Structure 1
Amino acid sequence: MATSGRGTGIVGYNVQIAVDPERHLVVAHEVVNEGHDRTQLVPMGDRAKQATDAGEIVVLADRGYYSGDEVLACEGTGILPTMPRADTSGRAKKGLFVRADFVYDAAADHYVCPAGAVLKKSNARSDRHGDIDHYRNLEACHGCAMRARCTTEKFKRFKRWKHEAVLEAMQRRLDAMPDAMAVRRATVEHVFGTLKAWMGSTPFLTKGPKGVRTEMSLAILAYNVKRMIRLFGATWLIQAIRA
């Protein structure tokens, strides 16, 4: 399985699970042969939605699942992804302004920079991607005392994705749920921790995607059975199975 780092591939699989935060039951799971989670938001969200038969679900995920295209694909499907936006620029560590420091005015379609200057949309160029708009203010940047914290170039060119509104809506959901990531950790990581405690350091006993999926399905089944016994009792579970 290839991972994101060069030369860091491993012999293994990427296990995906979706867990109900109320009862801590695994509602969906999958085993994939990708060393990252950036393409798993839609398929796992869809599986969880179908399994719960819910018209709309809020999906809490860590920043490893962040992908603008995946978030956009969830739009209008009843899947509401909620996760931190991945910051790959490293600007904050360098003491530079980050994206959140620039305020977007949707009505005027412009940005206001930390210095208070207005960055207006520039004309599209043929050598740029059609789904990205550029905002700038050459005059304001020229004599700005804060330019060193803003850009290493002569002026700031701020990029905005055509579908940025869906990412901003996701950020508002996250802001409205300050404990979202704590809930995610206490829900999903607890299940992974339990399964690892049961399995110990032993790797999967089977080989190949089909075998590993079967083995993982049995582990999830055992977890859910024990969890339901804990919640409802063995008598109730036996009666439910017979029914």
Structure 2
Amino acid sequence: MTNHIKGECRIQATLFPEILDDFISEDNPVRIVDVFVNELDLQELGFERVQAKSTGRPGYHPATLLKLYIYGYLNRIQSSRRLETETNRNLELMWLLERLAPDFKTIADFRRDNGEGIKLACRHFVILCRELNMFSEGVVAIDGSKFKAVNSKTNNFTSKKANDLIARVEAKISKYLLELDEVDRKEVPDNRVRMVKDKLAWFKKRLGELQEMKRVVEAHPDKQVSLTDPDARLLKTRNMERQVCYNIQSAVDTKHHLIVCHDVTNTNDRGELARMTKLTQEILNRKDITSLADKGYYSRQDIKATLDLGAETLVPKTDTSGSERKGIFNRSKFKYDPTKDIYSCPAGEEMINRMRTVEDGLELDVYFNHNACKECKIRNQCTTSKREPRRMKRWIHEAEAEAMLERLANAPETPVIRKQTVEHPFGTIKMWMGATHFLTRRFKNVSTEMSLHVLAYNMKRMMAIMGVQALTKAIREG
């Protein structure tokens, strides 16, 4: 006889069956999922089959399948087959779905066919957070993170890769042709001759395939082709490795680390600042926001566009000048005087605004002093040209970018705040996903999948901030 706690007999019948609701505590997160979906107007959000047809076999209500997916992404179960398994053994899902158990095909089809509705449901939860004053400070950190796509590097082709493979195959063909030439001079077993001819035929066929692939790549606007997921691209990751992936852009609130908005792209960060800032303004319903970003977002046109939106932005500038490698003075050695509209060179001479030009869509003022530069004793440290003077080019809106950099210099804690804010959601979502890739392909489906990740992340954050019961009450009252 032991003093351990004993369980109940599995074959013992009970007079009064237990109620399923008794197994789900009031603080169970599954109740949030149930209340949130019940309060949504699924028809207005664009979900299909909200109104069932009067004829034909009955289908599942979209609310049932949306609850299933939100629960799955909250609990690191994203696969439709795994969700099907859980509906038959998971007590929380039995309660949430009222003991319904759709098959994996029905589950997968729902995610495929209701992408827009799922994205709007995700936005609806963000708006709920806004109404609960979660974004009162109006400061967001913007960043992008690379998420692996359903496409290996083997099935991704660039011009360089195609040329390298063609050169490798041509070398193999030359090797086997030389070996066939030696057959006449040496006694070679017949099986070896057949093997060489088979390999030669295979490599010739492969060469034709690669040459065709090269033509396809060169005709593509991005000069890159992915065979498994055509929308995925080969991009550099943080450790400078290359990976076929998507670049997920997000704007994260600095107060509670909630994701305000997100988007799926297949390009690098440059050029995304103004677009993400505008998207944030629309969702927060306010223009006076501050967006923080890293140096990968620095673009003078983008910063000007962001400021024109009425927002403030803080983005560090990178020094991309190649002057030091050439052994001449860096641009930073030339000081601009806004009152006189001149540059002072390291020799102390004044460089005057001589002309205006347009480069890469930017209007630039050009400053130089031909006479002073011609007689300068340190000319060889300033320019490599023997005839032309050193020129300084200044964007006509450079003062706005310089004012932004001055504000950034006066707020040295900004880079730390940005990193602590925006890296947290990405790290959490990637941990939930595990060492894997997106389960779906193409922009449309990957965007739907990311919306489910973001909705689950924000929901879990709000549970941590407010608690389950308080959040349940807020959703019902909202």
Q: Shorter-chain TM-score: which interval?
A: 0.7 to 0.9
The equivalent of 1:111 in structure 2 is 343
The equivalent of 2:295 in structure 1 is 63
In structure 2, the gaps of 5 or more residues are 1-232
Q: 1:54 aligns with which of 276, 280, 286?
A: 286
The equivalent of 1:240 in structure 2 is 474
Q: Which amino acid aligns with 2:253?
A: D
After TM superposition, the runs of 4+ consecutive aligned structure 1 residues lying more than 4 A away are 92-96, 124-130
Distance 2:412 2:379 in 1: 32
Q: How does 1:1-243 map to 2 (within 5 A)?
A: 1=233, 3=235, 10-34=243-267, 36-92=268-324, 96-124=328-356, 131-154=363-386, 155-243=389-477
**In 2 relative to 1, CA 148–193 (structure 1 residues): closer, same or farther, beyond 3 Å?**
farther
Q: Which amino acid aligns with 1:167?
A: A
**In 2 relative to 1, CA 240–3 (structure 1 residues): closer, same or farther, beyond 3 Å?**
same
Q: Which amino acid aligns with 1:151?
A: T
Deviations 1:155-212 (A, max 9, x none): 3111111221221122122112112112111111122111111112210001111111
Q: Which amino acid aligns with 1:150?
A: C
Sequence identity percentage: 44
Deviations 1:113-144 (A, max 9, x none): 23322111114579998811111122333344
**In 2 relative to 1, CA 93–21 (structure 1 residues): closer, same or farther, beyond 3 Å?**
farther
Q: Which moved further from structure 2: 140-149 or 110-119?
A: 140-149
Higher fraction of helix: 2
Distance 1:167 1:236 in 2: 44
Q: Quick check: which has more Rg, 1 or 2?
A: 2
Q: TM-score, normalised by structure 1?
A: 0.87
Distance 2:289 2:431 in 1: 30
In structure 1, the gaps of 5 or more residues are none
Q: Which amino acid aligns with 1:14?
A: N
Retained in 1: the 8 A contact 2:235–2:244? no
Retained in 1: the 8 A contact 2:355–2:367? no
Distance 2:475 2:234 in 1: 41
Q: Which amino acid aligns with 1:87?
A: D
**In 2 relative to 1, CA 228–128 (structure 1 residues): closer, same or farther, beyond 3 Å?**
closer
Retained in 1: the 8 A contact 2:357–2:364? no
Q: How far did 1:92 drift?
A: 4.9
Q: Which amino acid aligns with 1:18?
A: A
Q: How far did 1:47 drift?
A: 1.2
Q: Which amino acid aligns with 2:436?
A: T
**In 2 relative to 1, CA 129–234 (structure 1 residues): closer, same or farther, beyond 3 Å?**
closer
Q: Which moved further from structure 2: 132-141 or 219-228?
A: 132-141
Over the aligned positions, Cα root-mean-square deviation in angstroms equals 2.6
Q: Which amino acid aligns with 1:187?
A: T
**In 2 relative to 1, CA 92–23 (structure 1 residues): closer, same or farther, beyond 3 Å?**
farther
Distance 2:417 2:447 in 1: 27
**In 2 relative to 1, CA 142–18 (structure 1 residues): closer, same or farther, beyond 3 Å?**
same
Q: TM-score, normalised by structure 2?
A: 0.46
**In 2 relative to 1, CA 128–57 (structure 1 residues): closer, same or farther, beyond 3 Å?**
closer
Partner SS, residue 28 of structure 1: strand
